[in-house]
Amino acid sequence: MEEHKKGKDDEISIKEIIVKIKEYFWEIVRKWWLILMSSILFAIALGWKAKRVPETYPAYLSFMINSENPNSLSSVSGLLGTFGLGGASTSEYNLDKMIQLLKSRKISEEVFFSRIEVNNHQDYIANHLINHLDTIDRWEAKKSMFKFGPYEDPIADFRFESDSIPAFAYLENKALKRLFTKVIGSGDVPGLLSGSYDEITNILYLSFTSQDEQLSIKVVKEYYENLAEFYTFQSVSKQLHTYKLIKQKSDSLATLLATKEYQYADAIQSNQRVFAETDRLNEARLRREVEKLNVMYLEATKNLEVADFSLKNKTPFIQTIDLPISPIDSEYESFPWAVIRGLILGGFIGILFVSLRKLYMDIMNYS
């Protein structure tokens, strides 16, 4: 008896569900005009947005650092260690460090004040970038909603006329900081430049995106060249300083040795017919100085060779993999696909609205 009742309840529940589905289906059919209007509105909105999004040209560049272990010559590395000039290890070539340097203001400043030619116009990269940002309406600061009265951006029409950064006044520094923020990005707002690396292959990637193909290619190359140069110099600065000191000492000893050798030879020639030992005293002193300087110079030369090898061993080898070349595949939002997405999204939201409206009315009528 209970089983019969349970089966009947299940049958009623299924029947109620089917009835409810039919009610919602016919409600959606009756409100077709509302769903259609929602689809059209979303299609217009997304299509208009697609038309407003400009075509951009992302220039990609890839490179890697020291694919081989610079300490493969273990015997030489041990020799370097005895002189306190140990070689580098691949772990020292920190990829995160490279990305952080890319985002530093120092690298950007070097790039900004390099001169390039874009569309037959030669100027600082900074001014080319400002012109580009001005064209896409992203350079001039917008008036805050919390400020009242007229507002005029003091650097809206500003362009750099000098590359002497230490001598910059307030306006130059303000423009430089704004340009740096636009290129690197700020917070959740992405910039024109981006950098990343693959943790498995250790390949680094740089990209720069603008609406000008020439500008994208030339700027990303400038960033790469300045980044590679600064990273290399920073990696070998200590070894380079040591090498220069030893080279200076070696050159000084070589000059002094040549002078004393000449004096010693002159003394020998002058004392050829002199038999008194007291007259040969200067010659003996010069001989001892030449012998001492010769030993010092040989030691300095050996140290110089070790320092030179250490410098070369420490110097990171940055290898370019792919450089951007024209033509670049542009990125843009397809208008037809945007309209199709709008129709689908609008239809879904319309159906959801009609269904929720039906559910609300059923609940209110039931209560």
Q: Is the pLDDT of residue 211 over 90?
A: no
The mean per-residue pLDDT over the stretch 240-259 comes to 82
Q: Is the pLDDT of residue 70 over 50?
A: no
pLDDT tier at 20 (50, 70, 90 boundaries)?
confident
Q: Is the pLDDT of residue 220 over 70?
A: yes
Can you give the pLDDT at residue 263?
76
- Give the helix ranges, DSSP H, for the chain: 2-30, 32-52, 74-82, 95-102, 105-112, 125-135, 170-184, 213-270, 281-314, 335-366
Q: Over the chain, what is the mean pLDDT? A: 78
Which residue did the predictor score with more confidence, 7 or 126?
A: 126
Can you give the pLDDT at residue 74?
43
Can you give the pLDDT at residue 173?
93
Which residue did the predictor score with more confidence, 273 or 55?
A: 55
**Percentage above 90 pLDDT, the chain:** 18
Q: Is the pLDDT of residue 305 over 60?
A: yes
- Among 80-89, 108-117, 257-266, 341-350, top mean pLDDT goes to 108-117
Can you give the pLDDT at residue 144?
54
Q: Is the pLDDT of residue 289 over 50?
A: yes
Can you give the pLDDT at residue 334?
62
Q: Is the pLDDT of residue 177 over 90?
A: yes
Dihedral over Cα of 160, 161, 163, 165: its sign: negative
Contact 70, 309 (CB under 8 A): no
Q: What is the DSSP string of 314-350?
A: HS--EEEEE---SSPPPB---HHHHHHHHHHHHHHHH
Q: Where are the domains of the chain?
A: 2-51+334-366, 54-322
Can you give the pLDDT at residue 68?
47
**Among 46-60, 209-223, 298-312, whose mean pLDDT is lowest?**
46-60
The mean per-residue pLDDT over the stretch 231-248 comes to 82
Contact 58, 208 (CB under 8 A): yes
Q: Is the pLDDT of residue 274 over 80?
A: no
Q: Token pair 């070998």 is at which residue? A: 236
Can you give the pLDDT at residue 90?
41
